[in-house]
Amino acid sequence: MRRPYIYIIMCIALLTTSCQQEQSEPSGQAVLELDLQLAGRPRLQTRAIESDLAVAIYRNDGTPYINGDGVACQFAAGSVPAKIVLEPGTFRLVTYTENQDTWKTDNEGRGSACYLKDTTFTIGQDETVYLSMQVPATNYAVSLQLPELFNDLFKSYTFTLTSGSRTTTIKEGEKAFFDVADKGFTYALSVTNNDNTPHSHSAIEYTEVETGKCFTIHYNYDSDANSGGVVIIISDDMDTDDNNINL
């Protein structure tokens, strides 16, 4: 008389075990594929990740995303994988160069190009999301172009740039980088000719600055000797398409 009860109990136990096994099966993966380029630079490959860019992934509430191994989903420049496995959800992808805190003091105070982009994306179970992005610069550059034979006529020169609280000097072929929040820059050229006679111009202000551009100060000779021998021309450096300048 006891066997039917034992059989029923065994069936319930088997059903319970079966449900537990179904719940413990891993869910489908969510895969993020990346194609990240610095804005203004020519693309070298169809899909690629610029080696200067680092990546950090955050949850939508701003906390770092921790993967299944307990490691924050952050990758240094040069080590960003083309594919990242995530759990389903909404995330923030922050792509940046690693000089966010140092770009103003890089290169002996001349600065360096700084790039940053923050974007939000949603990914589902068993889904692959492909993100292709141009990461924009957050600062701008200034360079110098001197006329031909300049170094034959002048034994030395100093080109001084000031923006906000920063002052630096550059030579032809160098760039200085500044923050648009400082609302422009001033520039001044002082020279000493081969007779050891100094010449200088008062600082000139330029305010129409934009992130991602390089503004080149062009100097040309002036035929009017009374003007000090040099006329100043400033213009945007528009050597690349759609005004995106490689800083």
* Domain match, 124 and 145 both: no
* Domain match, 153 and 239 both: yes
Arithmetic mean of pLDDT, 34-58: 84
Residue 22 counted as domain residue: no
Given a cut of 70, whether residue 20 has pLDDT beyond it is no
* Domain match, 161 and 221 both: yes
- The answer to whether 224 and 247 are in contact (CB under 8 A) is no
Arithmetic mean of pLDDT, 74-93: 94
* Domain match, 86 and 148 both: no
How far is the CA of 186 from the CAs of 42, 161, 201, 209, in angstroms?
31, 6, 12, 12
* Domain match, 123 and 144 both: no
Q: Could you tell me which residue, 128 or 202, shows the higher pLDDT?
A: 128
Mean pLDDT, all residues of the chain: 81
Residue 17 counted as domain residue: no
Number of domains in the chain: 2
* Reported confidence tier of residue 43, pLDDT bands at 50, 70, 90: low
* Domain match, 35 and 130 both: yes
* Domain match, 150 and 120 both: no
pLDDT, tens digit (0-9, with 9 covering 90-100), for 94-147: 999 999 999 999 999 999 999 999 999 999 999 999 999 999 999 999 999 998
Range of the structural domain that residue 150 is part of: 140-243
Residue 92 counted as domain residue: yes
Q: Are strands 30-38 and 128-135 parallel, antiparallel or unpaired?
A: parallel
Residue 87 counted as domain residue: yes
* Domain match, 199 and 131 both: no
* Reported confidence tier of residue 28, pLDDT bands at 50, 70, 90: low
Residue 34 counted as domain residue: yes
Q: What is the CATH number of the domain that holds 37?
A: 2.60.40.10
Residue 80 counted as domain residue: yes
* Domain match, 42 and 125 both: yes
Given a cut of 60, whether residue 82 has pLDDT beyond it is yes
Q: Enter the tokens of residue 10.
A: 């065994």
From the list 35, 24, 177, the residue with the least C-alpha distance to 93 is 35
Given a cut of 70, whether residue 226 has pLDDT beyond it is no
Residue 7 counted as domain residue: no
- Which residue's entry shows tokens 């610095």? 38
Given a cut of 60, whether residue 243 has pLDDT beyond it is no
User: Hey, how many other C-beta atoms are within 10 angstroms of the C-beta on 30?
Assistant: 20
Residue 112 counted as domain residue: yes
* Domain match, 73 and 127 both: yes
